[in-house]
Amino acid sequence: MDKVIIFDTTLRDGEQAAGGTLNVQEKLEIARQLEKLKVDVIEAGFPISSQGDFEAVKLIAKEVRTPIICALARAVPQDIDRAWEAIKGAKHPRIHVFLSSSDIHLGYQLKKSREEVRQTAREMVAKAKKYTDDIEFSPMDASRTEPEYIHQILEAVIDAGATTVNIPDTVGYAIPDEFGKLIEGIIKNVPNISKAVISVHCHDDLGLAVANSLEAVKRGARQVECTINGIGERAGNASMEEIVMAIRTRKDFFDLSTDVDTRQIYKASRLVSELSGFVVQPNKAIVGANAFRHESGIHQDGVIKVPITYEIMDPKTVGIPASSLVLGKLSGRHAFKERLAELGYNLSETELNRTFTAFKELADKKKGVTDRDIESLIAEELRTVSEVYHLDRVQVSCGDRGIPTAAVRLISPDGRTLEDAALGTGPVDAVYKAINRIVGVPNQLTEFAVQSVTEGIDAIGEVLIRIESEGITYTGRGADTDIIVASAKAYMNALNRLLATRKAAG
């Protein structure tokens, strides 16, 4: 059975999703989870793009030792030098060079001839080869490039030392059958193609990224570039979990395998959602909240008798418990810890104590605490680890005849208690104004979204906000049974990220 190489670009192309910026420590945390997931390649970033991205790639190269660590570079000498500087400490380094190939890009963006581009591609791959033997090359916008020209570029870069040639559907234009024929044409018409692995990188503008990737694999590609939850530029990338589980579930069709530890998929999905601020849609395949839930009586009857009647995958294989254990206020610490283990969480003693206290407070407000409640609660509590200011107390007064008023109490970095109050157009506005009076960091609220984590009138409400300061966007999330408190927590979470970033920048 052939192996498909899983190339995860969550930290590079995934981070390009508008509003999905990650800091250095967040990228490292995701990279460590990707290592547990056993992806083959982690594209850690684009080092030339910023000092922060350079530092993140360099740190990941140093700390994450099992997978190949890849850095992206344009076909420009300084990009390649910078990429190598970032990944030279990696146990398994790779440089990924890209250059546009379509006439649309050559004519309107690069303003170069085909021969000039082919020569540049050859020269830059040869330059990268002086640093490491593992070189990948991508002719950007390949799906809109004349196939014969693609064949010429690939032959040239393989001669120059490329060991992986990636065929990007950069703008999500391809249809599965034509994309598959493009891969077959490369295998038939590139004389030295046996010296390189064929890779594919598909975008989801037409909702076909996964379909195109799987068609390419069926036709001979042996590396797929994808992201957790399918996040990425515009409509996103091919979803890693969907690619991997399709290959695993339909071995009879593909006769292929991956090395991914699928039991780590759900945990990776939740981590990326938490740190990026992008909520996973309930009906998302594999990792959505409804992916393994059944409401129809006929379906429920079938699943109770034999799960395979309506479930083509065992939820345990992707890290989702088969059953939902509801905890309540009478549950003990041991039962809570056991449930955390089943959900894939391994907390330190300090984190466990703090989370259990929060759980007991929540259980006093709700009749039953579900898995989703617990996951939201953990995310909320662990966010407090890197706090600059701590939200200690919120009190509001509002009504249809009154003026919305909020009083807040924060704990400063040096332990002082800071209090203030403000009026607003509504209770949330008043809370945010009171917080701003204390923290004093100019910013603009650009997005505010509320959703219920679980069902029922006593459900936890989760608030997602984005604020902008000096052209940079910061995401904050907060959860509580009181939506005003959740809003305050989300705002403090975003402000603390802003303050931590400024402190790190010196």
Reported as a pLDDT band with limits 50, 70 and 90, residue 326 is very low
Three-class SS of residue 343?
coil
Segment among 149-163, 318-332, 439-453 with least mean pLDDT: 318-332
Distance CA 475, CA 21 (A): 9
Length of the chain, in residues? 506
The closest of 49, 53, 86 to 69, measured between CA atoms, is: 86
Question: Which CATH architecture group holds 387-504?
Answer: 2-Layer Sandwich (3.30)
86 pLDDT higher than 90: yes
Matching residue, tokens 């570029």:
153
User: Residue 482 CB: number of other CB atoms within 10 A?
Assistant: 14
Q: How confident is the prediction for the chain on average, in pLDDT? A: 90
User: Residue 483 CB: number of other CB atoms within 10 A?
Assistant: 18
Structure tokens at 121: 């591609």
Whole-angstrom CA distances from 134 to 41, 95, 204, 314, 458 are: 11, 7, 28, 37, 54
Is the pLDDT higher at 398 or at 368? 398
Structure tokens at 417: 């208690």
Question: In whole angstroms, what separates CA 80 from the centre of its chain?
Answer: 25
Per residue in 364-389, pLDDT (tens digit) is: 776 667 777 777 677 666 655 467 89
Average pLDDT over residues 215-220: 98
Distance CA 181, CA 184 (A): 5
Distance CA 97, CA 431 (A): 48
Reported as a pLDDT band with limits 50, 70 and 90, residue 303 is low
Is the pLDDT higher at 472 or at 243? 243
Average pLDDT over residues 318-337: 67
In what side-by-side order are the strands of the sheet with 390-397?
A: 390-397, 405-411, 417-423
Whole-angstrom CA distances from 423 to 13, 450, 463 are: 42, 22, 21
Query: Nearest 5°: CA angle at 171, between 170 and 172?
Result: 100
User: What is residue 497's predicted lDDT score, i.e. its pLDDT?
Assistant: 83
CB 347 within 8 A of CB 336: no
323 pLDDT higher than 60: no
Domain ranges of the chain: 2-276, 292-322, 387-504
Reported as a pLDDT band with limits 50, 70 and 90, residue 257 is very high
The closest of 257, 456, 240, 465 to 367, measured between CA atoms, is: 456
Segment among 84-88, 148-152, 287-291 with least mean pLDDT: 287-291
User: What is residue 304's predicted lDDT score, i.e. its pLDDT?
Assistant: 65
Reported as a pLDDT band with limits 50, 70 and 90, residue 1 is low
Strand ranges in 68-126 using DSSP code E only, listed in sequence order: 68-74, 93-100
User: What is residue 322's predicted lDDT score, i.e. its pLDDT?
Assistant: 59
401 pLDDT higher than 90: no
Distance CA 189, CA 397 (A): 73
Q: Which CATH number does 2-276 carry?
A: 3.20.20.70
User: What is residue 397's predicted lDDT score, i.e. its pLDDT?
Assistant: 93
Distance CA 285, CA 269 (A): 12
User: What is residue 289's predicted lDDT score, i.e. its pLDDT?
Assistant: 77
The closest of 4, 32, 27 to 15, measured between CA atoms, is: 27
Q: Which residues are within 8 A (CB) of 278 and not within 5 positions of it... i.e. 6 or more apart?
A: 17, 19, 20, 229, 231, 272
Q: What percent of the chain has pLDDT over 70?
A: 90
CB 204 within 8 A of CB 230: yes
Give the DSSP per-residue string, 266-280: HHHHHHHHHHH--PP
Segment among 114-128, 240-254, 329-343, 438-452 with least mean pLDDT: 329-343
Segment among 234-238, 441-445, 461-465 with least mean pLDDT: 461-465
Three-class SS of residue 24?
helix
Quick one: CA dihedral 245, 194, 96, 111, positive or negative? Answer: negative
Burial 95-108 (b: 16+ CB within 10 A, else e): bbbbbbbbeebbee
Residue 176 parent element (H or E): helix 176-189
Average pLDDT over residues 257-269: 97
Q: Which residues pair with 98 in a beta bridge?
A: 74, 138
Residue 342 parent element (H or E): helix 333-342
Is the pLDDT higher at 441 or at 372? 441
325 pLDDT higher than 50: no
CB 10 within 8 A of CB 67: no
412 pLDDT higher than 70: yes
CB 151 within 8 A of CB 189: yes
Average pLDDT over residues 52-77: 97
pTM to 2 decimals? Answer: 0.75
User: What is residue 87's predicted lDDT score, i.e. its pLDDT?
Assistant: 98
The closest of 399, 360, 393 to 377, measured between CA atoms, is: 360
Cα separation of the two ends of the chain: 52
Question: In whole angstroms, what separates CA 374 from the centre of its chain?
Answer: 21
Reported as a pLDDT band with limits 50, 70 and 90, residue 414 is confident
